[in-house]
Amino acid sequence: MKVFIVLFFLLASFFDGRCQQKKLFTKNGIVTFYSKAPIENIEAHNNKLLSVWDMATGKVEFSVLMKGFEFEKALMQEHFNENYMESDKFPKAIFKGIIREPVNSFLVKDGTFNVTVSGTLTLHGVTKEVNVPATISIKNNEISAASTFSVKLADYNIKVPRIVKNNISNIILIKVIIPSYQPLGS
Amino acid sequence: MLSKKSFFVIAVFFILIMVVVYAYNEYHREPLNVEDVKSDLSVTATEMTQAFENDETSANEHFLGKIIDVKGTVIEVKNQGDTLVNIFLGAANKPGKVSCLIDETHTKEALKISPGSVHTIRGVCTGYLMDVELNRCVVIQ
């Protein structure tokens, strides 16, 4: 009897299209960051976040180009790249992690699921361990994801001069949105 | 006739005004429209992707942050909503691509372009992920 139950689940997973898509990716994720300080609020966005998710292992990776962040004001963008992030020296921010929860078992029906992604964030040449809350949604076989978390500039050796300490927050809020993952290779 | 002191006060006042006007304009300066400036470099999409595939660090030194005219065959025009249009330039039967994110003010013209045609696109190189990435792009030819 047990053999039949195991066989049934194996066959069911074989015929489920989502399980055949072992690796998912997107090149069109959106990263937005916000700095709220007494003198001004700063916001920048990047619409070319690359993410690869291995559904079999739960491993997930995100890469973003620092020079791809667009600001409302040119001066902010120049200061961000030249003075704070040193984007010529450190052109990418990379997150490598693993989704703790057994997501494959959730993603058999439509819904939104809360997960925690543990891993390392490399920013400005500094790698730190982070735990990030995220939501993964599935609707009509399309998988999307979102996350909001904060980073402390000091943790990544990003120095803000005293003269602009009221212009830039020490803690930056980061929002990540993946509108849709596609099977890798499509 | 102005005394030396009055002349000095007036000069300092004008310098201060000039500094304030300059600081105000600098603070409110909008990001560059690449259509209004000359490009730093002109390359083909194949040359650019090969440079990044061969040696990303050296290609970053050469291209990163520069305004570049890239010529190539349009592989795909991807419209992700009204303001996000990506044109992928490459060469037929070759894997590497240059992904050009079109400036929000030029998306209408970009959407008229069809795959297979040859175009030159000007944009700012932001680096290399799976493709070579260009932002604030404008189709110039």
**What pLDDT score does A104 carry?**
75
The reply to whether B135 touches chain A by the CB within 8 Å rule is yes
Q: Tell me which residue of A94, A81, A147, A166 sits closest to A125, measured CA to CA.
A: A94
Report the Cα B72 to chain-centroid distance in Å: 17
The answer to whether B30 and A73 have CB atoms below 8 angstroms apart is yes
Using pLDDT thresholds of 50, 70 and 90, give the confidence band for residue B82. Answer: low
The reply to whether B81 touches chain A by the CB within 8 Å rule is no
Decide: residue B121, CB within 10 A, 0-12 exposed, 13-18 middle, 19+ buried: buried
Distance CA A114, CA B130 (A): 29
User: Which of B131, B135, B137 has the most A C-beta neighbours within 10 Å, making it the best mutation to test the interface with A?
Assistant: B135
0.80 exceeded by the pTM?
Answer: yes
Using pLDDT thresholds of 50, 70 and 90, give the confidence band for residue B1. Answer: low
**What pLDDT score does B104 carry?**
84
- Kindly list the residues from chain A whose CB atom is less than 8 angstroms away from the CB atom of residue B61: 88
**Share above pLDDT 90 across residues of chain A, in percent, rounded to a whole number:** 46
Using pLDDT thresholds of 50, 70 and 90, give the confidence band for residue A87. Answer: very high
Question: B36: which 2 tokens?
Answer: 């209004």
User: CB within 8 A of B92, min separation 6: which ones?
Assistant: B73
Using pLDDT thresholds of 50, 70 and 90, give the confidence band for residue B80. Answer: confident
Q: Does A18 have pLDDT greater than 80? A: no
Is A36 in a helix, a strand, or coil? strand
User: Which of A26, A27, A40, A61 has the most B C-beta neighbours within 10 Å, making it the best mutation to test the interface with B?
Assistant: A27
- Kindly list the residues from chain B whose CB atom is less than 8 angstroms away from the CB atom of residue A75: 26-27, 29
DSSP B32: P
Q: Does A13 have pLDDT greater than 70? A: no
For A123-176, what is each residue's pLDDT tens digit?
999 999 999 999 999 888 888 999 999 999 999 999 888 888 888 888 999 999
Average of per-residue pLDDT across B101-126: 88
**What pLDDT score does A21 carry?**
52
**Share above pLDDT 70 across residues of chain B, in percent, rounded to a whole number:** 96
Q: Name the residue facing B65 among A48, A67, A71 (closest C-beta).
A: A67
Nearest residue of B to residue A64, measured between CA atoms: B129
Distance CA B35, CA B104 (A): 13
Quickly count: other Cβ atoms within 10 Å of residue A122's Cβ: 16
The answer to whether A169 and A154 have CB atoms below 8 angstroms apart is no
Q: Identify the weakest region by mean pLDDT among A102-111, A114-123, B102-111.
A: A102-111
Quickly count: other Cβ atoms within 10 Å of residue B54's Cβ: 9
Distance from CA of B1 to the nearest CA of A (A): 42
The answer to whether A46 and A64 have CB atoms below 8 angstroms apart is yes
Distance CA A25, CA A158 (A): 30
CB contact under 8 A, A27 and B65: no
Q: Does B107 have pLDDT greater than 60? A: yes
User: CB within 8 A of A140, min separation 6: which ones?
Assistant: A110
- Kindly list the residues from chain B whose CB atom is less than 8 angstroms away from the CB atom of residue A71: 31
- Kindly list the residues from chain B whose CB atom is less than 8 angstroms away from the CB atom of residue A67: 64-65, 124-127, 135
Nearest residue of B to residue A49, measured between CA atoms: B129
Helix axes B45-54, B56-63, angle to 10 degrees: 130
**What pLDDT score does A76 carry?**
85
CB contact under 8 A, A74 and B126: no
For B4-32, what is each residue's pLDDT tens digit?
888 888 889 889 988 888 888 877 777 77
- Return the HEC string of A77-139: HHHHHHHHCCCCCCCEEEEEEEECCCHHHHCCCCEEEEEEEEEEEEECCEEEEEEEEEEEEEE
The answer to whether B89 and B48 have CB atoms below 8 angstroms apart is no
Among B residues 47-66, those touching chain A with beta carbons less than 8 Å apart: 60-61, 64-65
DSSP for B60-76, written as a single string: HHHHTT-EEEEEEEEEE
CB contact under 8 A, B129 and A91: no
